[in-house]
Structure 1
Amino acid sequence: MSHNSSESLRISEIFYSLQGETSRVGLPTVFVRLTGCPLRCTYCDTTYAFTGGQTMTLDAIMAEVARHAPRFVTVTGGEPLAQKNCPSLLRALCDAGYEVSLETGGALDVSGVDARVMTVLDIKTPASGEMAKNLWSNLDHLDSRDEIKFVLCDEADYAWAKQVVQEHQLARRCAVLFSPAQGQLAPRDLAEWILRDHLPVRLQVQLHKLLWGNEAGR
């Protein structure tokens, strides 16, 4: 293996489930959830990943992923890029032949992410409470295989996100996903607004929550 096997990361959980979001929705996927996050979004559904977890070497992580024999692997958090060895993990997963995606909150620099990785970049809205942390230069590092996600809490969030999509011509760069914050915005309302405004975005609801509710580790 080409990676430094002594490198380690703090892991919240590694589990096998169906991808609940993005263009890979519904596909069997291994999730590697890293511990820790510098953001505190109002709607966060993985607060348990802020702390705790266990330290694992790259070799141990790779062995656990391989146990499930997946085609797709998603590295998520928390905020995975908050750990300095995250790019090494992404590279090792790509080298092993997996189709790898990264779910990142958009506040940390993605320029060091392996080009083979599908980066799913979350742009934080006003209602998230973390809008000021958006690192807008990240947009320059995205290409057509990547995806941009907005989690929307209300109509004001939608109007703001719509403006960002138009201002930055995001749909020309890559797929843009609008997701309603669970329990705060009715998916049907969001669907109506997208249709009304002819927005070039994809509405996504979280498949895993339809299937399993809010159980952690699914």
Structure 2
Amino acid sequence: MMQAFETTTLRINEIFFSLQGETSRVGLPTVFVRLTGCPLRCGYCDTAYAFTGGENISIAEILNRIAHYKTNYITVTGGEPLAQKACLVLLTALCDAKYSVSLETSGALDLSQVDLRVCKVMDIKTPGSGEVTKNNWENLIHLTPKDEIKFVLCNEADYQWAGEIIRRKQLSQLCPILFSPVYDSLNPATLASWILRDELPVRMQLQMHKLLWGEGPGR
């Protein structure tokens, strides 16, 4: 397997060390491996710079760069990381190296081949994202209790839509559900009041890295 890692390359936009700003791992020192490219164009995207650019790096070299940081937590993100087929090989290599690995994915691409040791954080795109038609609902059967579903909400219409999807598809029986307001668009206190009013079985989250370092993919 190591030989495959030596020769397999991915287009990498950046590798950096920061605090995880979202999900149940919020606050944990984490190495982020951001892959280049994404087939979606969400209106609120804050990583459009990752649509292009980057450099081709072998998986062996990615592992070497990660090893410089004293953390066990790795997040593979994008863009949309699964747009590169070799991402599956990278995820397995990271798990084999005994890292605790999370994958941030839009849910538009097939999750069935993702290593079962990976924590999948899957977005469900709302109408406000502009990409609601890209949701691949078949991916729900590939989620386990250790995975997470995330809704990024632009407005009250998105909130109501997300609540209906949770009820209709019984998402709370699959894994934890995260609600996140679009930064500088939906007031967090307003979202919190809706969740409490309707007693939804969700965890509200804010993007901690933006609270610390401002808008953009801060470090």
Question: One fold, TM greater than 0.5?
Answer: yes
Distance 1:58 1:14 in 2: 12
Tell me: CA distance 1:3–1:107, structure 2 relative to 1, closer, same or farther (3 Å): farther
Matched residue type, 1:27: L
Aligned to 2:143: 142
The answer to whether residue 183 in structure 2 is matched with residue 182 in structure 1 is yes
CA contact (8 A) 2:210 2:217 kept: no
Which secondary structure does the structure 2 equivalent of 1:108 belong to? coil
Runs of at least 5 residues in structure 2 that lack an aligned partner in the other structure? none
User: What per-residue deviation string (whole Å, max 9, x for no partner) do you get for residues 139-182 of structure 1?
Assistant: 00000000000000000000000000111111111000000001
Query: Could you state the TM-score of these two structures normalised by the residue count of structure 2?
Result: 0.98
Q: How does 1:160-179 map to 2 (within 5 A)?
A: 160-179=161-180
Which secondary structure does the structure 2 equivalent of 1:139 belong to? helix
Which secondary structure does the structure 2 equivalent of 1:179 belong to? strand
Which secondary structure does the structure 2 equivalent of 1:196 belong to? helix
CA contact (8 A) 2:126 2:151 kept: yes
Aligned to 2:154: 153
Shift of 1:24: 0.4
Q: How does 1:81-92 map to 2 (within 5 A)?
A: 81-92=82-93
CA contact (8 A) 2:102 2:118 kept: yes
CA contact (8 A) 1:13 1:217 kept: no
Tell me: CA distance 1:41–1:202, structure 2 relative to 1, closer, same or farther (3 Å): same
CA contact (8 A) 2:37 2:80 kept: yes
Distance 1:136 1:215 in 2: 29
CA contact (8 A) 2:33 2:77 kept: yes
CA contact (8 A) 1:3 1:92 kept: no
Matched residue type, 2:212: L
Moved over 6 A (4+): none
Aligned to 1:67: 68
Distance 2:208 2:176 in 1: 18
Shift of 1:216: 3.7
Shift of 1:70: 1.6
The answer to whether residue 9 in structure 2 is matched with residue 2 in structure 1 is no
Query: Could you state the TM-score of these two structures normalised by the residue count of structure 1?
Result: 0.98
CA contact (8 A) 2:210 2:218 kept: no
Aligned to 2:41: 40
Count of matched residue positions in the alignment of Structure 1 and Structure 2 = 218
Distance 1:32 1:216 in 2: 13
Distance 2:3 2:133 in 1: 35
Tell me: CA distance 1:30–1:3, structure 2 relative to 1, closer, same or farther (3 Å): farther
Distance 1:154 1:19 in 2: 25
Which secondary structure does the structure 2 equivalent of 1:140 belong to? helix
Which secondary structure does the structure 2 equivalent of 1:36 belong to? coil
Distance 2:123 2:77 in 1: 12
Distance 1:139 1:206 in 2: 24
Matched residue type, 1:102: L
Matched residue type, 2:2: S
% identical aligned pairs: 63
Shift of 1:69: 2.5
Shift of 1:183: 1.1
Distance 1:3 1:181 in 2: 43
Distance 2:179 2:211 in 1: 17
CA contact (8 A) 2:209 2:217 kept: no
